[in-house]
Structure 1
Amino acid sequence: MFPLRLLVLLGLLGLYEGQGETRSSSCDDFTDLDLSHCFMGTSLYVRLLLYTRANLDCGREINHHHLSSQPLLDLRRPTAFVIHGYRPTGAPPIWINHIVHLLAEQEDMNVIVVDWNRGAANLNYFTAVTYTGEAAHNLTGFIRTMQEEGASLSSIHLIGVSLGAHLAGFVGANLKGKIGRITGLDPAGPMFTSATPEGRLDPSDAMFVDVLHTDMNSFGLIGAHGHIDFYANGGADQPGCPKTIFSGKSYFVCDHQRSVFLFLCALNRTCKLTGYPCSSYSRFLDGQCLQCEAFKPASCPVLGYNVSQWRDTLVQLGQTKVFFSTTASLPYRKLIYRVDMVTWNQYLRWGVVYIRLHSGRTFTEARVDHKLLRFEQYTSTRLLAQFDEDLQPVHKISLRINTGNIIGPRYKIRLLRIRFTPLEHPDRPLMCRYDIIMEENMEVAFRPLPCDSHP
């Protein structure tokens, strides 16, 4: 077991590390520990810190058994519990304050931070795993007390990060799946990969379970574990994250912690991250899964707090996988076009496509290079072109089909039609161009025309 233990320790060391803010002595802060505590080991102790719109910057610890002692807790409001994961350095998560403020912006609610840092802060990851069941039992008892005093289980939302996602699932299972919603942000993989549904987060744990995957090939859990599972960039390697171990701890934690940053961005409404239902990421990249007619409201699900508006449809459909791509940094959102081409060339050619959108002197480029595309006589080809920038208006489009042919003659490729459909901007016009003669490996530029201008 030593190699796995070492891998987990290296990978999660310093995850979400940060320092607590200096606040009034009357406030109750998240437990701030250090490496000495982690080396010695900590025993489980669960604290519940309440935040409302009346005390967003000053947490108030709640007595587990005497709710009336905390007048700010209004059980008529919905309640969101925020549950962190493994804390091998003992430092508070840097994102706690951000998520508290952003949740309070969604609606008037109780935000309760579940501080189980004493328990999660252990160099031995397996000790922290064993504490998840005990912490879930503790939190279950508190929620039952809330229910006895008038709270509705359907108004409770558990948001769990990494190991905290499974802790949330255990709470939901203890309450027979009657919790309103559980959100799992890249549920932890180590020690849970082979677990049965009873031993990890699964759709039966709440009335609605949504999951975001960002690190399935390392510290995240492989598979589908909610009514809807969002897979950012396929659910594994994230753009902008280091690719070699020489980058230090960021190499280990960047993909895993991206789930938190994507969720925060979605809560902040600065990035609308639309998920497209599909059986695989490769089919999504092929442009084969760009329809959402089965969903009500009639649009593709969007990551974030309001994904619950698709709950009834998703529960009826069963477990649904949705895929999306992101940029390397804020606001993460890509501009997506569906590109339909009809080619007419004498010789069969295979290649990848590079498309540039120009607006004035600036441009943004999409590379459709995840596989070789086939171009032959009278062939319809559909592409998914994803751009890092949203340039408007588009004055010019340039296109290159790279076949890799460097020694033979350049063959001509004739485009009978090319059409650009902005998928997430229905208010924008379709852009077309007709009858273009181009040479392989050579860029051709043209001014787009309105699609209805051609007879």
Structure 2
Amino acid sequence: MLYTRRNPTCAQAINSTVLGNLNVTKKTIFTVHGFRPTGSPPVWMEDLVEGLLSVDDMNVVVVDWNQGATTVIYNHASRKTRKVAIVLKEFIDQMLAEGASLDDIYMIGVSLGAHVAGFVGKMYNGQLGRITGLDPAGPLFNGRPPEDRLDPGDAQFVDVIHSDIDGMQYFKCDHQRSVYLYLSSLRENCTITAYPCDSYRDYRNGKCVNCGISQTESCPLLGYYADNWKDYLRERDPPMTKAFFDTAEEKPFCIYHYFVDIITWNKNIRRGSITIKLRDKAGNTTESKINQ
């Protein structure tokens, strides 16, 4: 189902023989949903399409494999992922024949859809422009070799947001939290900064505040603009990183980070407290007290 700025709300049905209004000279984003045990369409899909079209003039192709993904037996749905990938390759091959470039193809896969994207990327030897995996499905994929799951080598740039555990927690709503975090990156003034770090403990202890680069450069941003950091990743060996972040409890999830370093001038023990107060441009204030 094709959406463009010419038809942002009413999809045009397309396939490998009928590309419709798809403009092969523009970026094309494929969105691939995951396991749908109840058969209901993803509630976030309309927001994702709208958000993507708001940031760039592109083709947004919603991959509807709901008939294959709808089953209460997860194993049955997972076995369909490679078949979906083959259909998508036929479609992309036709795009390439019409003049499209692999550099301009970007796949966003959710849950099982992340592995669908990975299988497509493998068939093009990792030459797709980008793949984003949003909470890639764990059961039947964790611990598998790279050819059986989404892998960092499946595209020129691969980014993954992990916001949930799998298994018994699968049916909880937080399995889709990564989608809403991605959506927040499409809104103005709502960037979520991630901090490269070896462990979550080190991150929480403030040991990873400068991203390993000069203070004048931005840390990687979560979501749509994560690929702005790919030039820095190329300088790493291997060219990949793991980064951590904090969010607010509800939409739009973005928060600001401040690092406060307090240095005492002597070693004498003193009783008391330190209060830190922050005020924004609108005059709103918040404070935190450190008791000793």
Q: When the two structures are superposed, what TM-score results if normalisation uses the length of structure 1? A: 0.59
Q: 2:248 aligns with which of 310, 327, 331?
A: 327
2:137 touches 2:166 (CA, 8 Å); kept in 1?
no
Instruction: State the shift of 1:301 in Å.
Output: 0.9
Residue 203 (structure 2) pairs with residue 284 (structure 1): yes
| Whole-angstrom distance in 1 between the partners of 2:230 and 2:143 | 28
Q: 2:50 aligns with which of 98, 101, 113?
A: 101
Equivalent position SS for 2:217: coil
Residue 107 (structure 2) pairs with residue 158 (structure 1): yes
More strand by share: 1
Instruction: State the shift of 1:315 in Å.
Output: 3.2
Instruction: State the shift of 1:175 in Å.
Output: 1.1
Task: Give matches, 1:50-449, under 5 Å.
Answer: 50-67=2-19, 70=20, 72-215=21-164, 217-218=165-166, 252-292=171-211, 294=213, 298-317=217-236, 318-343=239-264, 344-346=266-268, 357=277, 393=283, 399-401=289-291, 440=292
Structure 1 pair 339–157 and aligned structure 2 pair: CA distance change class (3 A): same
Structure 1 pair 396–126 and aligned structure 2 pair: CA distance change class (3 A): closer
Structure 1 pair 54–340 and aligned structure 2 pair: CA distance change class (3 A): same
2:106 touches 2:130 (CA, 8 Å); kept in 1?
yes
Q: When the two structures are superposed, what TM-score results if normalisation uses the length of structure 2? A: 0.90
1:326 touches 1:332 (CA, 8 Å); kept in 2?
yes
Larger radius of gyration: 1
Cα offsets for 1:281-326 (capped at 9, x unmatched): 1111111100135379821111122222222222332111111101
User: Which structure has more RCO (C-alpha within 8 Å, separation ≥ 6)?
Assistant: 2
| Whole-angstrom distance in 2 between the partners of 1:59 and 1:395 | 45
Cα offsets for 1:55-108 (capped at 9, x unmatched): 0110011032233xx1x1111111000000000000011111111111111211
Equivalent position SS for 2:258: strand
What percentage of aligned pairs have identical amino acids? 46
Structure 1 pair 358–321 and aligned structure 2 pair: CA distance change class (3 A): closer
Q: Structure 2, unaligned stretches of length 5 or more?
A: none
Structure 1 pair 295–154 and aligned structure 2 pair: CA distance change class (3 A): farther
2:184 touches 2:254 (CA, 8 Å); kept in 1?
no
